[in-house]
Structure 1
């Protein structure tokens, strides 16, 4: 099956992060789409990983270092040098990033692979650049991490996870890490509407145009993603030259569809990506070979579609809002009072109040824009996605 308008997606089974299995799966997934055809000796390749927070690889919130290792080896074989980087939520400073690199297992991986640091290194350029993209739908002007301006090509290596605002975090969403961490909340405030924010993600992919996309879907994250969910084994590595068909396949792999992922809708409406997985040419193994149909979602994004207009359409729209009216809510017993949610809230909707044991966040619902930054960056997973009674029922029915 397939459509020549969209890039091929490769799926290769991989049951663990053991080196031998990773080597086989990554090599096959790369070769299935033409290999590293764009690499020439002497080039510097930037690998944009998903390092959303300082979390150990086994937590399944970040790109696993073994995937990055094999990709680096392939690039070195072709005479390229490699810079690995990201800008997670928080300060874009050396102490903060070094802790993220170390905790995510990248520091040891790079030292083992290239002790001299001459050919493979972790990004240590903390400069900021201004970007202008007149063809953008949402993000015509923005600032981004300067290291990306100093590489010859970008490879996007993401992690397959649920996401409270965008439904799914994968290839397209991973490019939000090009925005300096401390300024991310500003973009949530500029684009609080779900679809406008989804177009920010598409704009970033179209501006930077990574030459290759790789997805670590060996162990993904379900439930309260993208940082506080549960590890869920999927058993696959995926590759493509474009992100939208790739994300469509990844969505299908975890039981989601076009309307569940706003970035897919944004790309589809712009003619950049497919609207159904049947439009995608898939090589390697079939989606059905690795599909996880009961993957737990962080939230449901219009998985029930109402096409009616007029009074019926208005009633349906109100019904959707009543059922899927999710919001962030703190679980006081798990909160350590670190103020991370307070510091990252773009709408300034959070205050810290005395709970007797420590200070915990209190959310002003009249100010909350439901961007779920508080949930995404909570280091203990104490900020949860909360459903009303109707939403909980719909969620249960959806997974029967």
Structure 2
């Protein structure tokens, strides 16, 4: 049986309400029983970009504050960190911490809680991995006794959903992430990479900030959507299944859940998960949550000519690609800089009579990793669906 998943209602980021809901969510699955006096606990938050907490892109500081408080009360110290998308340098990371409102954690618990400043990287070998048997990771994770993965519930253009499993991609240094997209451009291989990282680091606890989530063009440029929940579990796979079910997704919508099931690590459906806590799943499901995209790896089994034709037609109809919206683009070159396939060039074009610098995508090189969409600071890079496929999907 899979690890139980706790689901607690929490209507706002007001501190007193958070304290009660987060405590209930954690305590319902055994609490912080692994934390002992004198330990150092690492909280791996979702700090993908320097964005205000109200944007629902990053783990909210009020939740991190309560978790830190609980750990400090047990006599341990805390390091909070992540590797944002971009340069893994002191100036860049400090700006992310500042914009995400995290310096208040150090102020609230002086000497006991600190934001990570160890920006070294290390090499890892993981022979049991499916995708990534050797990789580099952020060395600060070796400075802690246990890791707590504190993710944010969001849609994701490539994986369908960014939550507990996907959050461990932040163990890879920022500028290396696009390289790994290039190494594993196919959805199944990239999803296995995410699972490999979870199996290598084995966080002791997973918590999800789903008070405000993100729908649509996630994980950074979508729309904030109130969900009103905090979830927790000792393992990520059943936790992700519950989160997906709440926002109307299933195993075929989230590739990380699919490969986890194939590897015997996760459930096939939410019916196989023991859900505990005060919130009942039927009461908290959201029927109209906007998905990020339709996945590209839709095929029909069998090698017949007819099935090959069906697969080709479906691939065309339901394919997705990144596409810039010129009116929102500021010509910052972020997409150009982060594209692992070097499929983007910056060109000067006329828009409404004015010459502007815009990205141009070479479709023959594009691997559809959606790094350009994920790291666009203005959300100008959109996930574009085939109009006919989009119409069929809506129906």
Both structures adopt the same fold (TM-score exceeding 0.5): yes
1:261 paired residue number: 254
CA distance in 1, matches of 2:98, 2:142: 24
How far apart, in 1, do the equivalents of 2:261 and 2:250 lie? 12
Correspondence for 2:34: 38
What is the Cα deviation at residue 146 of structure 1? 0.3
How does the TM-score come out when normalised to structure 2? 0.96
State the partner residue of 1:331.
325
Matched, 1:363 2:356: no
Partner of 2:392: 394
Q: Where in structure 2 are the equivalents of 1:334-349 lying within 5 Å?
A: 334-349=328-343
Superposed displacement of residue 108, structure 1? 2.5
With over 3 angstroms needed to count, the CA separation of the structure-2 counterparts of 1:345 and 1:247, relative to structure 1, is same
When residues 275 and 313 of structure 1 are mapped into structure 2, their CA distance, relative to the original with a 3 A threshold, is farther
Distance 1:192 1:303 in 2: 12
**Equivalent residues, number:** 390
> Which residue matches 2:195?
202
Provide, for residues 178-205 of structure 1, a one-character-per-residue CA deviation record: whole Å limited to 9, x for no partner. 0000111100110001100000000000
Cα displacement (A) at 1:303: 11
1:124-273 map, 5 Å:
124-273=117-266
User: SS of the residue aligned with 2:37?
Assistant: coil
Change (3 A) 1:232 1:305: farther
TM-score (norm 1): 0.95
Taking only aligned residues, the RMSD between alpha carbons, in angstroms, comes to 1.4
- The CA deviation at 1:394 is 3.0
SS in 2 for 1:131: strand
Task: For residues 267-291 of structure 1, give each alpha carbon's deviation from its aligned partner in whole angstroms, at most 9, with x where no partner exists.
Answer: 0110000011100000012212211
Aligned-residue offset at 1:304: 8.3
Shift of 1:309: 6.4
Q: Which residue of 2 aligns with 1:52?
A: 48
Partners of 1:9 and 1:280 within 8 A in 2: yes
Structure 2 gaps of 5+ residues are none
Matched, 1:292 2:286: yes
Select between 13-22 and 349-358 the one with higher mean Cα deviation. 349-358
Among 46, 62, 67, the residue aligned to 1:71: 67
Deviates more, 1:297-306 or 1:201-210: 297-306
CA spacing shift, 1:121–1:320, aligned 2, 3 Å: same
